[in-house]
Structure 1
Amino acid sequence: MKLATYDNGRRDGQLMLVSKDLTKAMAVPAIANTMQQLLDTWELLQPQLQELYEALNTGLIDNAQAFDEMRCLSPLPRAYQWADGSAYVNHVELVRKARGAQMPDTFWTDPLVYQGGSDCFIGPKADIEMASEAFGIDFESEIAVITDDVAMGVSAEDAEQHIKLLMLVNDVSLRNLIPGELAKGFGFFQSKPSSAFSPVAVTPDELGDKWLDSKVHLPLVTHFNGELFGRPNAGVDMTFDFSQLVAHVAKTRPMAAGAIVGSGTISNYDRSAGSSCLAEKRMLETIEHGEATTAFMHFGDTVRIEMFDEQDNSIFGSIDQKVVQYQG
């Protein structure tokens, strides 16, 4: 099943059911008006939506409209929780190597997670508004899951059943603000502005055998200023799978329906696949040449993030964004 949220002038938007090929959509107000309403009552409402979804895909819905990604907000325009991990530890290792820092062995056994701001996500086609290029503006191409209610202390074995939807993410980072914040020993805040999510969220079954062991075994494709930047496989070199990440987040607290957990920047040891953020490319340049030559994003720069199935069909729609100067 595929779902989206249209901008209808209200804070939480209008829930839309979207066809598998991303060509048709329909509102389902008799079932749920918003994505959060659906997630709050998933077990009751999902079977009703699934029946409609099958009818939509077989052309049995007369009032379906053309699906328009430009009308989409992030599937959850705001959420009760947004916890982003760093599941590709080779990426973390590379970051530390570039600055000559030793990586603790525990990084391979205990996930890294930070709590991001979840009160105002930006849309998949919305501009990234920043006050200054000096912040070191970067994109991070990732995957995220949305859960239903998760009990505190859930095991990794039981966590997968709570994963209801998957999305793509642009976890915008302000690299030049990060060192000062981390030096305080209290984590990210100003350096992690609003994130953007793909136009469409999908149930795991939509991925078929590419959803295996709580990982998505497909490349995540990023274009920077219209040129291919990277297509690392999200199922390769993922040290902690999504079930392990959910269990880690819920170790000492329950998670409410609609909680989002991210994978962190997709990264492969095979560097021929390219990268999913500018910082990683800069790290590789520093290691190889002694200095980074790739700049962070400037006003006017664009990023496109998308994932395709084996028939080259877009699964989630695309995140397409431009960096612009904030005028507020």
Structure 2
Amino acid sequence: MKLATLKNGRRDGQLLVVSRDLRMAVAVPDIASTMQQVLEEWQAKHRALDEVYRALNAGIATGAFVLDVAQLAAPLPRAYQWADGSAYLVHSELVRKARGAELTPELWHDPLMYQGCGDSLLGARDDVALESTDWGIDLEGEVAVFTDDVPMGVSPQQAKGHIRLIALVNDVSLRGLVPAELAKGFGFFQSKPWTAFSPVAVTPDELGDAWDGQRVHLPLTVHVNEDLLGQPNAGVDMVFDFPQLIAHAAKTRPLGAGTIVGSGTVSNGDRSVGSACLAEKRALETVRDGKPGTPFLTFGDRMTIDMFDRNGNSVFGAISQRVVEYAPPLLA
């Protein structure tokens, strides 16, 4: 099943069921009006939604219309919790190597995780508006899962049963602001602005054998403008799988329905597949040449993140966003 949210002038938008080929959609107000409602009432709602999905794919759904991806918000336009991990340690290892540091041993056993701004999540075609290119604007291609209510203290095996939806992520990062923030010893804040999501979120069964209950075993295709940045496989070199990340987040607190947990930048030890962020490419250049040659993003650049199944079909639809200059409000 594929679900999306249509922009309708309200913060939580209108829930849509979307066809497998991402061409058609239908609203289902008699079942649920928002994605948050679905996640809070999953057991009561998902079977009825799946019946609509089957009818939509068969071409017999009442009220179906042609989907305009540009009119979609993030599948969950605002989340009570957006927690992003760092599961691909080959990425962290490389970035640290470029600045002459090493991974500490505990990071191989206890995942890194930060809390991002979940109050406003970007749709797949929304511009990324920022004030300055001096901030080191970067994209990060990731995979994320949406949960229902997760009790505190769950095991990874138990956490697996709370994964309801999967989506792609562009976790925009401002690399120029990161060092000063981390030096304070209190984590990211200003360096992690709005995060964007794929047009649809899908139930795990949509991925077939590419989903093993823990990881998505498909390449993530990332472009900057017309240039391919990389196609790392999301199922390779993921040291901490999604159930482990959820269990980590829930160690000392329950997670409310609608929590989103991200994988961190998808990265493979096989560097021939490229990268899912510019910081990694710049780190490779630094290790090889002593300094980076690839610039960060500037105004007018476009970021595209997609994932294709083994038949070449887009699973989630593409995230495709421009970086634009933000004009702050005038002082009164």
**TM-score where L is the length of structure 2:** 0.98
**Deviation digits for residues 11-59 of structure 1, max 9, x if unmatched?**
1100000011111100000001100011110100111111111111111
C-alpha contact 1:213 1:241 (8 A) present in aligned 2? no
The alignment partner of 1:73 has SS state of coil
SS for the counterpart of 1:15 is strand
Structure 1 residue aligned with 2:104: 104
AA in 1 matched with 2:307? M
How well do the aligned residues superpose, as a CA RMSD in angstroms? 0.7
Assess if the C-alpha contact under 8 Å between 1:31 and 1:48 holds in 2. Answer: yes
Counterparts of residues 216-235 of structure 1 (less than 5 Å): 216-235=216-235
Offset at residue 213 of structure 1 (A)? 4.3
- Code of the residue aligned with 2:61 in structure 1: it is I
Distance 2:53 2:102 in 1: 50
| Counterpart for residue 249 of structure 2 | 249
Q: Distance in 2 between matches of 1:31 and 1:93?
A: 46
Write out per-residue CA displacement over residues 213-272 of structure 1, whole angstroms, 9 at most, x where no aligned residue: 410000000111111110000000000000000000000000000000000000000111
**Is residue 138 of structure 2 the alignment partner of residue 143 of structure 1?**
no
Q: What is residue 236 of structure 1 aligned with on the other side? A: 236
Paired AA for residue 167 in structure 1: A
**How far apart are residue 63 of structure 1 and its match?**
2.1
User: Is it true that 1:305 corresponds to 2:305 in the alignment?
Assistant: yes
**Structure 2: gaps of 5 or more residues:** none
Query: Are the equivalent residues in 2 in contact too, given 1:226–1:303 (CA < 8 A)?
Result: no
Cα distance in structure 2, aligned partners of 1:213 and 1:107: 23
In structure 2, the residue corresponding to 1:168 is in which secondary structure?
strand
1:294 match? 294
Q: Distance in 2 between matches of 1:208 and 1:236?
A: 17
Equivalent residue of 1:157, what SS? Answer: helix
- CA distance in 1 between counterparts of 2:154 and 2:140 reads 28
Residue in structure 2 matched with residue 211 of structure 1 by the alignment: 211
Q: Give yes or no for contact 2:27–2:63 (8 Å, CA) kept in 1.
A: no
Q: Deviations over 1:137-180 (max 9, x none)?
A: 00000000000000000000111110000000000000000000
* d(CA) in 2 for partners of 1:74, 1:63: 22
What CA distance in whole angstroms lies between the structure 2 residues aligned with 1:327 and 1:123?
A: 20
Distance 1:47 1:76 in 2: 20
- Any idea what SS the aligned residue of 1:212 has? coil
- Who is 2:86 aligned against? 86
Give the alignment's TM-score, normalised by structure 1.
Answer: 0.99
Comparing 4-13 with 52-61, greater Cα deviation is found at 52-61
| Structure 1 position 65 matched with structure 2 position 86 | no
Q: What aligned pairs does 1:37-76 form with structure 2 within 5 A after superposition?
A: 37-76=37-76
Shift of 1:102: 2.2
Question: What residue is the counterpart of 1:263 in the other structure?
Answer: 263
Aligned to 2:183: 183
Percent identity for Structure 1 against Structure 2? 61
- Correspondence 1:31 to 2:31: yes
Deviation per residue, 1:274-306 (Å, 9 max, x gap):
000000000000000000010100111111000
Residue 173 of structure 1 aligns with which residue?
A: 173
Distance 1:199 1:279 in 2: 25
SS at 1:216 equivalent: coil
- Higher alpha-carbon deviation: 90-99 or 53-62: 53-62
Partner SS, residue 257 of structure 1: coil
d(CA) in 2 for partners of 1:264 and 1:41?
28
- Given the alignment of the two structures, is residue 115 of structure 1 paired with residue 115 of structure 2, yes or no? yes
Cα distance in structure 2, aligned partners of 1:100 and 1:150: 39
Matched, 1:155 2:163: no
CA distance in 2, matches of 1:17, 1:62: 12
Aligned residue for 1:279? 279
What residue is the counterpart of 1:125 in the other structure? 125
Q: Distance in 2 between matches of 1:60 and 1:219?
A: 33
Give 1:62 deviation, angstroms: 3.6
- Match of 2:305, SS state, is strand
Q: Distance in 2 between matches of 1:120 and 1:52?
A: 28
Runs of 4+ that moved beyond 6 A? none
Which ranges in structure 1 are unaligned for 5 or more consecutive residues?
none
CA distance in 2, matches of 1:34, 1:49: 12
